[in-house]
Amino acid sequence: MTKTTLFAALGTVTLSLAACDSPGIAFGDANSIVAAMSPDLWETVSDDVFTALEPTIRTVRDEKTFTVTFQDPEGEYWSELRRFRQILLVGTETELRVVEALEKASDPINGPGIYQIKNVWSIGQTVTLVLLAPGAGAEGLMSHLPAINELLDGQYRKFVINRMYIPGGGVDSALADTLYTEAGFQLLLPKVYDWEHHDSVYIFRNDNPDPSELIRQIAVTWKTPIPADMQPAGILAWRDSLAAANYSEPQVTVTENSNAHPFDFRGWFAYEIQAEWKNPPDRGWPAGGPLIARAIVCENQNRMYLLDSWLYAPGKEKYEYMIQLETILNSFKCGSA
């Protein structure tokens, strides 16, 4: 949610709601943070807060993982913005808004530090409180910023994973068992994914609610015996041939902003490439998105697997969907020999 969208959202909160005592339901995106602290403190720490809490990832552009908007907790918009889902509240135990938050704490608050308190000003809200010692100032907040980012990002990832699996009925365990028995590998996919296979190519796709708006797709295939060398160029050539033979629309891999690295995956040697795909220039409309391709060596099966995942989400923030694809890829397991 951008800052413009955030303030536009205030129009959905009526004056009567703001004036009443009922807490109401929290609003705002899970990755949109209202930072509430004194204006003097914000002037000192704002650049550090933006750097720590708005890191970027590369999708088809540099995209913020969170959006932070400052609000003076004594300002005119506080009665509305205090109802946001995610609030970062910074202050000493004598400041009015901190006192209000502490009154709602269910667990003991023992001195300065980072605490989280639920449902302070609205239902479904999380207030991340940085309780400062008297006179601590900017240093008291900045030392906590890396931990705050780690905490909020971890919680956001759990939120995304729950939202991916739970509404569609959870993990498709029957499919996971079928894949392990018949194909020799395992993936834990939400039940909302459709799937098909042709020989040693398995394709899993979720294009709900509309493929013109959102597509998440993962393909799995393998080579036997294990190739003697595994380099990015060879992996991408394999990926391109997979797409050309099996995808409903042709794709061209774009490597200008790619990131490639080997890594250990469950004790197996693996290589990951994050890049972009686009449809060819001769298609009727421009389309593209991010991709994650992984080559994983399963020596006990004498196989090298290719896992190719890609996203089509025009006009949407993509961090949530990249977490979903990454989670599915991380669920991969080799079968037995």
| Average pLDDT of span 248-269 | 92
Q: Which of 253, 222, 259, 218 is nearest to 236 (CA)?
A: 253
Name the pTM for this structure.
Answer: 0.87
Q: Which tokens hold the place of 325?
A: 């694809």
Structural domain span for residue 203 = 170-334
Q: Where are the alpha helices (DSSP H) in the chain?
A: 3-9, 15-19, 39-53, 78-81, 96-103, 137-142, 145-165, 173-182, 232-246, 319-330
Instruction: State how many domains the chain has.
Output: 2
145 plus 280 within the same structural domain: no
Spatial distance between the Cα atoms of 208 and 167, rounded to a whole number of angstroms: 12
Q: Could you give phi then psi for residue 51, rounded to 5 degrees?
A: -65, -45
Last residue of a domain, one of 102, 129, 164: 164
β-strands 67-71, 62-64 pairing: unpaired
Residue in the block written with tokens 């089509």: 312
Identify the DSSP state of 11.
Answer: G
Last residue of a domain, one of 127, 147, 164: 164
What is the band of 219 on the pLDDT scale with cuts at 50, 70, 90?
very high
185 plus 320 within the same structural domain: yes
Q: Residue 161: pLDDT above 90?
A: yes
Average pLDDT, the chain: 91
88 plus 201 within the same structural domain: no
Q: Which of 28, 60, 11, 36 is nearest to 317 (CA)?
A: 60
Q: Residue 282: pLDDT above 90?
A: no
48 plus 14 within the same structural domain: yes
Q: What is the pLDDT of residue 7?
A: 46
Q: Name, in order, each residue with C-beta under 8 angstroms of 150's C-beta and a sequence gap of 6 or more.
A: none
Q: What is the pLDDT of residue 253?
A: 93
End-to-end C-alpha distance for the chain, whole angstroms = 48
Spatial distance between the Cα atoms of 189 and 178, rounded to a whole number of angstroms: 12
Q: Give per-residue pLDDT as tens, 89-99.
A: 999 999 999 99
Q: What is the pLDDT of residue 13?
A: 43
β-strands 32-36, 67-71 pairing: parallel
| Average pLDDT of span 195-199 | 95
Q: What is the pLDDT of residue 21?
A: 53
84 plus 156 within the same structural domain: yes
The CATH code of the domain that includes 223 is 3.40.1000.10
21 plus 49 within the same structural domain: yes
Q: Residue 85: pLDDT above 90?
A: yes
Q: What is the pLDDT of residue 17?
A: 41
281 plus 194 within the same structural domain: yes
90 plus 158 within the same structural domain: yes
Q: What is the pLDDT of residue 241?
A: 96
130 plus 197 within the same structural domain: no
Q: Residue 4: pLDDT above 70?
A: no
| Average pLDDT of span 211-233 | 93
128 plus 177 within the same structural domain: no
138 plus 273 within the same structural domain: no
Q: Give per-residue pLDDT as tens, 11-67.
A: 444 333 444 456 799 999 999 999 999 999 999 999 999 999 999 998 888 999 999
| 246: Cα separation from own chain's centroid | 28
| Average pLDDT of span 247-270 | 92
Q: What is the pLDDT of residue 23?
A: 75
What is the band of 257 on the pLDDT scale with cuts at 50, 70, 90?
confident
318 in Cβ contact with 59 (< 8 Å): yes
Cα→Cα distances 228→273, 303, 305, 326, 337, Å = 19, 11, 14, 27, 19
122 plus 241 within the same structural domain: no
β-strands 215-223, 303-312 pairing: antiparallel
| Average pLDDT of span 312-333 | 96
Q: Residue 78: pLDDT above 90?
A: yes
| 253: Cα separation from own chain's centroid | 23
Last residue of a domain, one of 143, 164, 185: 164
| Average pLDDT of span 110-132 | 97
The larger pLDDT score, comparing residue 311 to residue 209, is at: 311
The CATH code of the domain that includes 82 is 3.40.50
